[in-house]
Structure 1
Amino acid sequence: MSEALRSPSEQRHAIRHWVPQDTWYKPAICALVVQLSRLTMRGLNRLSFAGRERWEAAFAEPQTGVLSFSNHVSLFDDPLLISNLGQTRYSEVRWIPADHINFFGNRFKGMLFSCGKCVPIIRGGGLEQPGFSFLLERLGAGDWVHIFPEGGRTREVDARLRTPFKSGIGRLLVEAQPIAMPFYHRGMHKLLPIGSKLPRWGNQIDVLFGEPTRFDHDCLQDLNSAGHRQPAEQWQLATEWAQSRLLKLERQVLGSEQKSAAELK
């Protein structure tokens, strides 16, 4: 597949069911999904945030795009969890990359997930494909984009981060220069474990927000001590930076869990 969908015409055909333009019905359907997700998470589970003020600070500059990124452990991470972080107004709901086969494989799926501001990404299609270009445009316009940099749900022991991260996040950071906002969540892996067909309610979901960082030219220069000039090299540096930020949050969360478990003994 990676070779078959390299040409622009083949990629356009692969994402033909995507509806990126605004339609009259998109805001209503999106708002309904957001509200149902909030009801589900807050009514059937327990949700807590640490450092929520840092999350709010990331959105303090309306003209600057925000690129949030987190671990990915459950099919329900988005929209159930992510919907509890933003607003119900369509213009303020996040954009998110999604696999073009699973989410845009036919006309109905394409319409539905386009309403949810999903953007098709072709696995193996490279970083110059239409979906990444669209996400760059949205960040440049000051929108919020969320990405799961692992490239899929983790299957690591204890739902730990799967590394190395995919380099798509690096391109978005380098070229859009957004506010980078990491967060790490814990508990979603119990809501719908990989292999389960039915959700398990009554879980405690904890979210730890990191520090918002403007990933501008100066930030990249600090990372690029070797003077790499090729875009792919700079994207890789930014990817490694994002990975280090999320791993730091993971260590904090898992360390707190281990400390609490030891205190209970």
Structure 2
Amino acid sequence: MDDLLLWGCLKWRNTVQPAKVRWITAANDICFTKWSHALFFSLGRVVPIIRGDGVYQRSMDFIIEKINNGDWTHIFPEGRVNIDKSFIRFKWGVGRLVAEAKKIPVVLPMYHVGMDDILPNNKPYVPRIRKKVTLLIGQPMEFTEDVELMRLMKKTPTEIRKYITDKIQDEIYKLKEKAERLHVESFQEQV
């Protein structure tokens, strides 16, 4: 469902050309439990992540390859569905994807509010219509200078991953606060 929101912001030609469609990570134990699900998600350029296998699993290597090819990749940095909307520390694999790419990618942070009104996170999982969603897209984040400086300072890969992840997390949580405020304000105006 998140993809439908994002694709709704793109020009049609960017959603039907396979070379321009994003790669995305998803939990192996949710999206790849049945053969039919695995086929469906694989055809949609979804890469299975095995929870608990850490930042050096094969799927993360694959996503770095895609970044190195200049492909668009999309991740959910919390590593799980945040049903209660609480603070969840971002996974350090986020920082690895940036730090270990041959050409440091630009990160485009985004946050949305209201998708769980369209597709609830509890049963019955039936999409609903005429619900309101707020999508806020932040400023592009560039990390080339940060990574180069940290390497010159002889920082460990773990320190670099943590630094990048923390910066992205801080930016997304700023977007979260703003998106939630805009969502409430916009909804109140319509009542």
Please give the range of the TM-score, normalised by the shorter of the 2 chains: 0.7 to 0.9
Structure 1 ranges of 4+ moved more than 4 A: 257-265
SS in 2 for 1:185: strand
> Equivalents in 2 of 1:250, 1:236: separation in Å?
20
* Matched ranges for 1:183-222 at <5 A: 183-197=110-124, 198-216=126-144, 218-220=145-147
Kept in 1, the 8 Å contact 2:67–2:105? The answer is yes
Report what 1:172 is aligned to. Answer: 97
Residues 255, 109 of structure 1: alpha-carbon distance in 2 compared, 3 angstrom cutoff: closer
Per-residue deviation, 1:196: 3.2
* Matched ranges for 1:44-83 at <5 A: 76-77=1-2, 79-83=3-7
Indicate the structure with greater strand content: 1
- Paired AA for residue 111 in structure 2: Y
User: Alignment length, in residue pairs?
Assistant: 183
Per-residue deviation, 1:210: 0.5
> Equivalents in 2 of 1:111, 1:194: separation in Å?
23
- Paired AA for residue 167 in structure 1: W
- Paired AA for residue 5 in structure 2: L
Report what 1:230 is aligned to. Answer: 156
Kept in 2, the 8 Å contact 1:228–1:234? The answer is no
Q: Which has the higher contact order (CA 8 A, sep 6+)?
A: 1
> Equivalents in 2 of 1:113, 1:262: separation in Å?
37
- Paired AA for residue 220 in structure 1: V
Q: TM-score, normalised by structure 2?
A: 0.84
Kept in 2, the 8 Å contact 1:92–1:144? The answer is yes
Report what 1:109 is aligned to. Answer: 37
String of CA shifts for 1:166-199, please: whole Å, max 9, x gaps. Answer: 1111111111210100111122121122213212
Per-residue deviation, 1:243: 0.4
Per-residue deviation, 1:105: 2.7
Report what 1:65 is aligned to. Answer: none
Matched, 1:256 2:182: yes
> Equivalents in 1 of 2:50, 2:115: separation in Å?
26
Question: What are the ranges of 5 or more consecutive residues in structure 2 without an aligned counterpart?
Answer: none
Kept in 2, the 8 Å contact 1:192–1:199? The answer is yes
> Equivalents in 2 of 1:260, 1:164: separation in Å?
29
> Equivalents in 1 of 2:63, 2:9: separation in Å?
19
Give the % identical residues. Answer: 34
Residues 155, 106 of structure 1: alpha-carbon distance in 2 compared, 3 angstrom cutoff: closer
Per-residue deviation, 1:231: 0.6
Name the larger-Rg structure.
1
Kept in 1, the 8 Å contact 2:112–2:133? The answer is yes
> Equivalents in 1 of 2:49, 2:189: separation in Å?
45
Question: What are the ranges of 5 or more consecutive residues in structure 1 without an aligned counterpart?
Answer: 1-75
Q: TM-score, normalised by structure 1?
A: 0.62
